[in-house]
Amino acid sequence: MSVIEFRNVSRWYGNVVAVNDITMDIGPGVTGLLGPNGAGKSTILHMIAGFLEPSKGTLALDGTATWRNPEVYRRLGLVPERDSVYAFLTGAQFVSATAKLHKLPDPEQSAAWAIGLTEMAEAQDRKISTYSKGMRQRIKVAAALVHDPEILLLDEPFNGMDPRQRLSGTIQVMVAGRLAASGDFRAIRRLMTSRPHVFRVKTTDDRRLAAALVGRDYTHAVELTSKGLQVRTSDFGAFCEQIAVIARDENIRLTELLPTDESLESVFGYLIAN
């Protein structure tokens, strides 16, 4: 089982510190790096991938430094962020060429396996230049998986994807180059769900519903806006269960109920503030 070990790793660009004295172990399983823009996620990932040298400290995969060591790619797979691929190749040609670069015993079979895994079999004989962005992402994942790596690094895997579908296991939260939170994803998700939630509610009588909501202990704040009611609640579950009951009791019709801050940014904001 592979472990990526960070020991007092820092990385700076001129006067700017991108990663500040990180010590952690990343073990088997899916690990996500979360953090706002500029937190140092890409820097961390590029250092693991051997495409950036730590300015200080050591970063090793099972005891071997990844910098200047392409041999780590026998156990490592990287899905780069940039969209550029050899667009003149077909998907199948691209993945099997990658298999050959890994000197796999049966490159065609490995390519077929990886393409099947990413559900790209139907499009595999088309040139990559004809692929959509999502298909390019998938063929890049197929190429990164073709040698069945123990560790797969995905740079910006959330582009156009729901992070909650993608994440499980451990996550590391980075803020301004430092490790802000680290641990089991479920624990962090509990933190995330117990934070105040904001909903926008449109009804036939906003003012009356506002009055009724103010009396409940899970209501943090209510604001009348031109777009309807803005409600902050400290208990996501209770609010969702009771809003319909309150509306029925008060004889108000709900026309719209929207969570307004489900974005990853607001989750970060909450985690950072704590």
Site size with other proteins, rule: CB under 8 A: 44
Tell me if 213 sits within 8 A of 238, measured CB to CB.
no
DSSP labels, 49-94: TTSS--SEEEEEETTEE-TT-GGGGGTEEEE-SS----TTSBHHHH
Q: Which is nearer to other proteins, 38 or 163 (CB)?
A: 38
Q: Which residues of 204-235 are buried (b: 16+ CB within 10 A; e: fewer)?
A: eebeebbebbeeeebbeebeeeeebbbbbbeb
Q: Would you count residue 157 as binding other proteins (CB under 8 A)?
A: no
Q: Where do runs of H (alpha helix) occur along 103-250? A: 107-117, 133-145, 163-166, 185-194, 206-214, 236-249
Q: Which is nearer to other proteins, 39 or 247 (CB)?
A: 39
The residue range among 84-92, 199-207, 213-221, 259-267 that interacts with other proteins, by the rule CB under 8 A, is: 84-92
Tell me if 259 sits within 8 A of 197, measured CB to CB.
yes
Q: Where do runs of H (alpha helix) occur along 146-258? A: 163-166, 185-194, 206-214, 236-249
Pick one of 5, 55, 86, 181: the residue that binds other proteins (CB under 8 A): 86
Find the shortest distance in angstroms from Cβ 268 to other proteins. Answer: 15
Pairing assessment for the beta strands 31-34 and 170-175 based on DSSP bridges: parallel
Find the shortest distance in angstroms from Cβ 173 to other proteins. Answer: 15
Q: 10 Å Cβ neighbour count for 88? A: 10
Find the shortest distance in angstroms from Cβ 120 to other proteins. Answer: 16
Pick one of 71, 108, 256, 262: the residue that binds other proteins (CB under 8 A): 71
Contacts of 42 (CB under 8 A, 6+ apart): 81, 155, 156
Q: Between 105 and 144, how does the x/- string for binding to other proteins read (CB under 8 A)?
A: -----------------------------------x--xx
Tell me if 79 sits within 8 A of 154, measured CB to CB.
yes
Tell me the sheet residues that pair with 224: 229
Find the shortest distance in angstroms from Cβ 34 to other proteins. Answer: 14
Q: Which is nearer to other proteins, 51 or 158 (CB)?
A: 51
Q: Which is nearer to other proteins, 104 or 240 (CB)?
A: 104
Find the shortest distance in angstroms from Cβ 202 to other proteins. Answer: 40
Q: Which is nearer to other proteins, 101 or 187 (CB)?
A: 101
Q: Which is nearer to other proteins, 75 or 189 (CB)?
A: 75
Q: Between 31 and 70, how does the x/- string for binding to other proteins read (CB under 8 A)?
A: ------xxxxxxx--xx-x-xxx--------------x-x
Separation CA 161–CA 171 (nearest Å): 17
Pairing assessment for the beta strands 64-65 and 56-61 based on DSSP bridges: antiparallel
The residue range among 97-105, 202-210, 219-227, 249-257 that interacts with other proteins, by the rule CB under 8 A, is: 97-105
User: What residues line the site for other proteins (CB under 8 A)?
Assistant: 11, 13, 16-18, 37-43, 46-47, 49, 51-53, 68, 70-74, 76-78, 80, 82, 84-86, 88-89, 97-98, 100-103, 140, 143-144, 177
